[in-house]
Amino acid sequence: MLSRLLSNDLPRSRVLAAILIAIVLGLAFAPFLFPGVKALNVAAKVLIFIVLVAAFDLLLGYTGIVSFAHTMFFGIGAYGIAIACTHLGASWGALAAGTGAALAVSLLLALAIGLFSLRVRAIFFAMITLAVAAAFQTLASQLSDFTGGEDGLTFKLPEWLSPSFEPFESEFLGVLIDGKIICYYLLFVLCVVLVLALLRIVNSPFGRVLQAIRENEFRAEAIGYRVVVYRTLSSVLSALFATLAGCMLAIWLRYNGPDTSLSFEIMMDVLLIVVIGGMGTVYGAVIGSVLFLVAQSYLQDLLRLGSEASSAVPVLSALLSPDRWLLWLGLLFVLSVYYFPTGVVGRLRAWRERQAR
């Protein structure tokens, strides 16, 4: 049953399976295990980035396409929800309309980019996607009547997803259930469904062809597969999943602006997470997102404790200053690439295979 649910793509490592189970349980019970606004925000961001990174890995890890337009589709999903809820009101119909419109726009844009650009060499395609993403970000900043410009859009959601909504008078497991927690579990269900859908795609005959194209597109073309068609379909599917991740972000934040969903920093974070977790595996998106976002969110707090504890040693205290968190985050990334060149998932699977011999 579990094997079918995971599309026969089992972890193939007991350590990896244990880590994934711990992550799923941790995210499933996050509101009760890690109380507090910050912890819940980090958990929700992890859910959103799991979908976003897994969608990007469908392009990079499974098809071998380098694209910098991924955050554009992410932003389209967020703006779809924001614009619909701003103009249509706080209703489920507005959420459905915003999601549908965002998916339609992403579909058309992904098709246009794919058909006109995927015939060129990889580096030129990457530059084209970068230019399109930059143009879209500028457009979103300029069309203030629709997008709110640089200030973005703040909107309301249906009552059930509002933080002020409290369906129960008493607490459950020490936590008072409100609209924010209901919203979190909506994201959790969406994340699980979308990840399982991506697992089904990459382990289907279509996914096998994508991997063949990644390994040797000329041989795949010689066998009879239309490489451009498959790469275009991969680009479209990746864009649609990224759009849904953007919708999740807007629903959680109840706000969207250019820096929130279209920032190039998000694209860099996605690239880092793919490398840390392991390219060409959906599980890498799960582990990489957790490691990166937890480190990004709590590294400053850990450095502050370390700086205070080493106050007697001025040099060490200065090195552990919270202001230098980016330095330490960069160092952690370098070490992860050095010791895990194939990502955490790739290293754990390779270690399991060596043990099995």
Query: Would you give the DSSP letter of residue 331?
Result: H
- Mean pLDDT value across the chain: 87
Asked whether residue 24 carries a pLDDT value surpassing 80, the answer given is: yes
Q: Which are the contacts of 295, defined by CB distance < 8 A and separation ≥ 6?
A: 329, 332
pLDDT, residue 102, reads: 95
Note the helical H segments in the chain.
2-5, 14-28, 30-33, 37-63, 70-88, 92-117, 122-142, 144-147, 179-202, 205-215, 217-223, 227-253, 258-261, 264-277, 282-309, 314-319, 325-339, 343-356
The more confident residue out of 51 and 228 is 51
Q: How many CB atoms lie within 10 A of CB 262?
A: 27
Q: Which are the contacts of 156, defined by CB distance < 8 A and separation ≥ 6?
A: 85, 89, 90, 162, 254
pLDDT in tens, 100-131: 999 999 999 998 887 776 666 667 778 888 88
Give the model's confidence band at 253: pLDDT under 50 very low, under 70 low, under 90 confident, else very high: very high
**Cα distance between residue 290 and residue 270, in whole Å:** 12
Do residues 67 and 236 make contact, with C-beta atoms less than 8 angstroms apart? no
Per-domain residue ranges of the chain: 13-356
The distance between the two most distant Cα atoms of the chain, rounded to a whole number of Å, is: 69
Element (H, E) at 154: strand 153-154
pLDDT, residue 228, reads: 82
Q: Which CATH number fits domain 13-356: 3.30.1340, 3.40.640, 2.30.29, 1.10.3470?
A: 1.10.3470
In terms of average pLDDT, the best of 82-86, 118-122, 144-148, 218-222 is 82-86
The more confident residue out of 229 and 1 is 229
Bridge partners for 172 per DSSP: 175
